[in-house]
Amino acid sequence: MIKVAMTSVYVDDVAKAHAFYTDVLGFETRTHMDLGGGTLFVTVGAAEGAQQDLQLLLEPGQGPIAEPYRTAVKGAGLPCIVFSVDDVHQEYDRLRALGVEFTQAPTEQGPVITAVLDDTVGNLIQLAQPKPQG
């Protein structure tokens, strides 16, 4: 069986991204290594033991491939990654109270409810919840 072990998101500033993804979004630090020369290798993952085999690499977003990609994706208003949540409305309220800016409030889209936020380090992030049955 093949499973996703790590995926990455390009960020403007790894240290700032680490703070946002842990302190604001609630992820836990899985790896934090200083590789020298101001380069950090940082991964985060779901808190409280969830998805222990899956990590998100906060990848430096500078360079001839990453920079144009990030600019185009964000310029088109597209999220670079989707995070599942139990309750989009609750997360929306919690994150707005912490000062997070959203480009899309909770919206029903077919079988899901989504919201889109700015991660402060160059990306749009989508939160998604399956629509309650009933």
Three-state DSSP string of 70-102: HHHHHHCCCCCEEEECCCHHHHHHHHHHCCCCE
Specify the pLDDT at position 134: 66
**Mean predicted lDDT score pLDDT of the chain:** 95
Percentage of residues of the chain with pLDDT beyond 90? 88
Specify the pLDDT at position 38: 84
Dihedral of CA atoms 87, 92, 98, 103 in degrees, nearest 10, equals 150
Q: What is the mean pLDDT of residues 117-133?
A: 95
- At residue 50 the predicted structure's pLDDT band, cuts being 50, 70 and 90, is confident
Asked if residues 95 and 24 have their Cβ atoms less than 8 Å apart, the reply is: yes
Asked if residues 87 and 129 have their Cβ atoms less than 8 Å apart, the reply is: yes
The C-alpha atoms of residue 68 and residue 28 are separated, in whole angstroms, by 29
Report whether pLDDT(129) > 70.
yes
- Answer left, alpha or beta for residue 122, where phi above 0 means left and psi between -120 and 50 means alpha: left
Asked if residues 56 and 8 have their Cβ atoms less than 8 Å apart, the reply is: yes
Q: What is the mean pLDDT of residues 105-130?
A: 97
pTM for the model: 0.93
